[in-house]
Chains A and B, each alone.
Chain A
Amino acid sequence: MDTQQILIYIVVGATFALYIGIAIWARAGSTGEFYAAGRGVHPVMNGMATAADWMSAASFISMAGLIAFMGYDGSRFLMGWTGGYVLLAMLLAPYLRKFGKYTVPEFIGDRFYSSTARIVAVICLLVASITYVIGQMTGVGVTFSRFLEVSNTTGLFIGAAVVFAYAVLGGMKGITYTQVAQYIVLITAYTIPAIFISLNITGNPIPPLGLFSDTVGEGVPLLQKLNMLMTDLGFSEYTERNDSILNMFLYTMSLMIGTAGLPHVIIRFFTVPRVADARWSAGWALVFIALLYLVAPAVGSMARLNIIQTIYPGDSEVALDQRAIEYEERPDWMRTWETTGLISFEDKNDDGRIQYYNETEFFADTAEQYGWAGNELVINRDILVLANPEIANLPMWVVALVAAGGLAAALSTAAGLLLAISSAISHDLIKSVINPNISEKGELLAARISMAVAIAFATYLGLNPPGFAAQTVALAFGLAASSIFPALMMGIFSKRINNWGAICGMLTGLLVTVGYVFTYLGMFFLPGTNLLPNTPDAWIFGISPAAFGTIGALFNFLVAYLVSNATADTPQEIQDLVESVRVPRGAGVATAH
């Protein structure tokens, strides 16, 4: 084992020891502590925990790369995954905190005085959360195998064991305080390499400012230079929009309302002492999320520029074909990452040089002139974050920190999702439907067992990820956007929406969205069962399946309104419930600190 490996083991081992230490310190003694951390979490702490809960393995490892390769179009993820917090802060979190119960389906069941509505909500919650958790578990396995040279399977078991320790023992209480620690690990790991890359390329130590600064040396704005190099290589400009305006609009909206409707995020706001804290806490959550989301687009564009300049070094006056580097002279980080398969080279025209460009029709003539026979370098998007420390020649402990950061991001999100899943089972199914007479102690035990089963199930799915895992994320956001978000919002802002309206609305939103997704991605994502090809030409009005949640939500609102107006008025006690949710005074007080 070399020094680098030993360092990674030490840093990752130390963070894991910290998480387990917190688990032992923050054990849950009651259902109130298991489901809502005793409602004693400070709003700033909850903001940090929410940020870790929200930012997944994908945010940490893949987002910067996604933006680097999508350019302007990638902005939908930046705006969508942050704009949802404005909706949470103003439309959902404070009122649901005032309601003062433990789960999202519980509010839907009580407000719409219907266990059918509650069960529909449980189904949406389970589908959305389980599809989401698969990605986290595979993320744990992948990070382990890349950095710690253990097999995927071993890595997954170690990760699952750590989550088991603090989630089963501590429930929401244990998860909250480990998430705070995990946030600190992941944000440090993310920003340190970013600061150095920004310094190298723009001379500005603050990456979000560097993004809009001039490059070191030539003094040309970074984005202009990137635009120029990309068009030289047959790509469209980095700042140019390639998607249609309508799809960009609906996609961003779907991500926003999907974010606001995801149960594992909403339940975090049940842990603060007061309604006012829920509002502040949403602000703090966005502060901590923004620290990463403002850095990610900077990392994306700088890493993209860096890769292009590594392959085509030298004076921009010289033609590209003269500048392409010899394969034998490639930098060390490329050699290292070639062994993982994340970057691969094939010398198609046998000239010993690397040619990296976009094989489009309009660039074909130029490529032929240069004597290029096709793009020779395939780069995995994730490499932009994972290889950053090596690209910037940072010391070995930074590489170790990035490994720990990736694991922190995956584990913290997995734990939040697992809590949403297990509380839906123990509280919404066992306590409310199967055995309402269960004692407090019995329910706590049921909650712990549900958590253990959920972890085992998630581990199984992580080991045997269904082939469609990547595509189901569209479904998770689509369901949250089209069924959960509208139901919650109408439950708070309208007294007129009744049980039938809510049930019909949720089911319509659900079916329309699932129907649209399955039409293009296959029935239950089985390859070959899609009715129409998944291409922009075949999409209705060019709306992609991932952007369809917004349309599903509109159907939900419309149907709920029409059905409610055609059926009986909501009972007086429900109207009183809505009134009480709207004012902060009288909320359940903190049970523990």
Chain B
Amino acid sequence: MTMTESGTAYWKANLRLVTGCLIVWALVSFGAAILFRPLLLGIEFGGADLGFWFAQQGSILVFLALIFFYAWRMNTLDKKFGVDEL
């Protein structure tokens, strides 16, 4: 693999990872907490519905997990493609 090909592959892998993470990001906040909340009304959670939990608490917890997952995956990608900082 030449430098440019490897660079392109690294960037594509990054884009795939970002896309995946942002789908989850949108699903919990805009999805579960807003758009699909009416569908989740039947699922009770601590005196309210699951959508309310996602809106007030769940989304934030998932956001946290997403950023750390992304940082960890990118570190391995950086090393795999040899673009990590020395």
Nearest chain B CB to A132's CB is how many angstroms away? 22
Nearest chain B CB to A93's CB is how many angstroms away? 10
In the complex, the 7 A-B pairs of residues with the closest C-beta atoms, listed nearest first: A221-B47, A212-B46, A75-B55, A279-B71, A223-B47, A283-B67, A583-B83
Pull 29 A–B residue pairs with CB atoms less than 8 Å apart, ordered by A.
A72-B52, A79-B33, A83-B29, A86-B67, A211-B46, A211-B56, A212-B46, A212-B53, A221-B47, A225-B47, A241-B37, A245-B34, A252-B29, A252-B34, A253-B30, A276-B75, A276-B84, A283-B68, A286-B63, A287-B64, A294-B57, A297-B57, A583-B7, A584-B78, A584-B83, A585-B84, A585-B85, A585-B86, A586-B85
- Tell me whether A89 and B56 are in contact in the complex, defined as CB-CB below 8 angstroms, given that A224-B47, A241-B37 are known contacts: no
Q: Mark B45-86, 1 if CB is under 8 A from A, else 0.
A: 111110011011101110110111011001100100011111
Q: How many residues of B contact A (CB 8 A)?
A: 42
Cβ contact within 8 Å between B30 and A89: no
Cβ contact within 8 Å between A75 and B60: no
Question: How far is it, in angstroms, between the C-alpha of A342 and the C-alpha of B14 when the chains are bound?
Answer: 51
Question: How far is it, in angstroms, between the C-alpha of A587 and the C-alpha of B34 when the chains are bound?
Answer: 40
Give the residues in chain B near A75, CB-CB below 8 Å.
33, 52, 55-56
Question: How far is it, in angstroms, between the C-alpha of A208 and the C-alpha of B64 when the chains are bound?
Answer: 16
Question: How far is it, in angstroms, between the C-alpha of A275 and the C-alpha of B25 when the chains are bound?
Answer: 22
Nearest chain A CB to B42's CB is how many angstroms away? 14
- Chain B residue, CB-CB nearest to A88: B67
Give the residues in chain A near B18, CB-CB below 8 Å.
90-91
Question: How far is it, in angstroms, between the C-alpha of A248 and the C-alpha of B30 when the chains are bound?
Answer: 9
Question: How far is it, in angstroms, between the C-alpha of A82 and the C-alpha of B25 when the chains are bound?
Answer: 11
Q: Mark A49-79, 1 if CB is under 8 A from B, else 0.
A: 0000000000000000000000010010011
Question: How far is it, in angstroms, between the C-alpha of A221 and the C-alpha of B47 when the chains are bound?
Answer: 5
Give the residues in chain B near A85, CB-CB below 8 Å.
63, 67
Question: How far is it, in angstroms, between the C-alpha of A587 and the C-alpha of B49 when the chains are bound?
Answer: 47
Supply 9 further A-B pairs (C-beta < 8 A) apart from A90-B70, A276-B84: A78-B55, A86-B21, A86-B22, A86-B66, A239-B48, A245-B35, A276-B75, A290-B60, A583-B10
Q: Mark B1-44, 1 if CB is under 8 A from A, else 0.
A: 00000010011001000100110010001100111010000000
Give the residues in chain B near A253, CB-CB below 8 Å.
30
Question: How far is it, in angstroms, between the C-alpha of A293 and the C-alpha of B35 when the chains are bound?
Answer: 22
Give the residues in chain B near A287, CB-CB below 8 Å.
64
Give the residues in chain B near A587, CB-CB below 8 Å.
85
Nearest chain B CB to A525's CB is how many angstroms away? 29
B35, B47, B67: the one contacting A212 at CB < 8 Å is: B47
Determine whether A189 belongs to the interface, using a CB cutoff of 8 Å to chain B: no
Cβ contact within 8 Å between A79 and B60: yes
Determine whether A213 belongs to the interface, using a CB cutoff of 8 Å to chain B: yes
- Chain A residue, CB-CB nearest to B58: A79
Give the residues in chain A near B85, CB-CB below 8 Å.
274-276, 584-587
Nearest chain A CB to B73's CB is how many angstroms away? 10
Determine whether A101 belongs to the interface, using a CB cutoff of 8 Å to chain B: no
Interface residues on A, range: 35 or more
Determine whether A579 belongs to the interface, using a CB cutoff of 8 Å to chain B: yes
Cβ contact within 8 Å between B59 and A82: yes
Cβ contact within 8 Å between A248 and B34: yes
Determine whether A120 belongs to the interface, using a CB cutoff of 8 Å to chain B: no
- Chain B residue, CB-CB nearest to A226: B47
Cβ contact within 8 Å between A282 and B67: yes
Query: Within A215-252, which residues are at the interface with B (CB < 8 Å)?
Result: 220-225, 239, 241, 245, 248-249, 252
Cβ contact within 8 Å between B25 and A79: no
- Chain B residue, CB-CB nearest to A75: B55
Determine whether A582 belongs to the interface, using a CB cutoff of 8 Å to chain B: yes
- Tell me whether A249 and B30 are in contact in the complex, defined as CB-CB below 8 angstroms, given that A82-B59, A83-B63, A275-B85 are known contacts: yes
Query: Within A271-298, which residues are at the interface with B (CB < 8 Å)?
Result: 274-276, 279-280, 282-283, 286-287, 290, 293-294, 297
Give the residues in chain A near B53, CB-CB below 8 Å.
212
Question: How far is it, in angstroms, between the C-alpha of A91 and the C-alpha of B57 when the chains are bound?
Answer: 23
Question: How far is it, in angstroms, between the C-alpha of A498 and the C-alpha of B24 when the chains are bound?
Answer: 31
Question: How far is it, in angstroms, between the C-alpha of A585 and the C-alpha of B86 when the chains are bound?
Answer: 7
Give the residues in chain B near A225, CB-CB below 8 Å.
47
Cβ contact within 8 Å between A294 and B60: yes
Cβ contact within 8 Å between A78 and B83: no
Nearest chain A CB to B34's CB is how many angstroms away? 5
Give the residues in chain A near B10, CB-CB below 8 Å.
582-583
Cβ contact within 8 Å between B59 and A78: yes
Question: How far is it, in angstroms, between the C-alpha of A232 and the C-alpha of B30 when the chains are bound?
Answer: 31
Give the residues in chain B near A276, CB-CB below 8 Å.
71, 74-75, 78, 84-85
- Chain A residue, CB-CB nearest to B10: A583
- Tell me whether A582 and B56 are in contact in the complex, defined as CB-CB below 8 angstroms, given that A90-B21, A90-B22, A212-B47 are known contacts: no
Question: How far is it, in angstroms, between the C-alpha of A224 and the C-alpha of B47 when the chains are bound?
Answer: 5
Question: How far is it, in angstroms, between the C-alpha of A297 and the C-alpha of B70 when the chains are bound?
Answer: 27
Question: How far is it, in angstroms, between the C-alpha of A214 and the C-alpha of B82 when the chains are bound?
Answer: 53
Question: How far is it, in angstroms, between the C-alpha of A89 and the C-alpha of B33 when the chains are bound?
Answer: 22
